[in-house]
Amino acid sequence: MPATGSLEVITGPMFSGKTDELIRRLRRARIARQKVQVFYPAVDSRYAGSEFGKVTSHAGAEFDAAPVRAAQDLLRLVEDDASVVGIDEAQFFDDDILRALERLVAGGVRVIAAGLDTDFRGEPFGPMPALMAQAERLDKLQAICMQCGEPASRTQRLVAGKPAAAHDPVVVVGAGELYEARCRAHHKVPRE
């Protein structure tokens, strides 16, 4: 009988430390001599340039990882002896990620997924609400509002220094040049 699998979800806005926390847990699993594999969606071009890359936090922490084009690729790439699987930027996957991760958990794997809970509009992002609902452990992190210094739970996209409009595309990969962490009071989404 396989070990009991589990799903852990780390979520929050950009700049809240999600990837740092993911990497911290993965490093601890390695220290415990567990077989760890890590994946990220190939759409996240910040890690472009090689078949096998890294997940990297805004603070500079890194962990070896492989890009995947679709959630079902995970099932093919996860090795039989893997006991811990990390997923970064889970919001970029489609709903197939739910079934893929459920199969891993049912097979005894500890899955740790990190991703944005909401998009720049403040609306639920991709499969994250369902992953959060299925998780045995859920950690929702906060950042610091870049306008007032209070706790931030939102991601503000900027276009030429102004808030992006509601009709702008949801997926635009970037970092500090395009996004800020904001509190509810300072998060703005023009609807025109």
- The yes-or-no answer on residue 89 being catalytic is yes
pLDDT for 172 equals 78
Neighbours of 31 (CB within 10 A): 8
pLDDT at residue number 176 = 62
pLDDT recorded at residue 116: 97
In CATH terms, 6-142 corresponds, of 3.40.630.30, 3.40.50.300, 3.40.1010.10, 3.40.190.10, to: 3.40.50.300
Name the residue ranges covered by the structural domains of the chain: 6-142
Residues 128 and 91 sit within 8 Å (Cβ to Cβ): yes
**Quick one: pLDDT at residue 49?**
46
Strand duo 62-68 + 36-41: pairing: parallel
pLDDT string in tens for the chain (192-residue length)? 457 899 999 999 999 999 999 999 999 999 999 999 999 998 865 544 444 588 888 888 888 999 999 998 999 999 999 999 999 999 999 999 999 999 999 999 999 999 999 999 999 999 999 999 999 999 999 999 999 999 999 999 999 889 999 988 888 776 667 899 999 999 999 986
Alpha carbon distance 91, 143 (integer Å): 18
Contacts of 46 (CB under 8 A, 6+ apart): 56, 173, 175
Read off the DSSP letter of residue 53. E
Please tell me which residue in 8, 51, 62, 89 is annotated as part of the active site.
89
What span, in angstroms and rounded, lies between the C-alpha atoms of 58 and 174?
Answer: 11
Give this prediction's pTM: 0.91
pLDDT of residue 62: 87
pLDDT at 55: 87
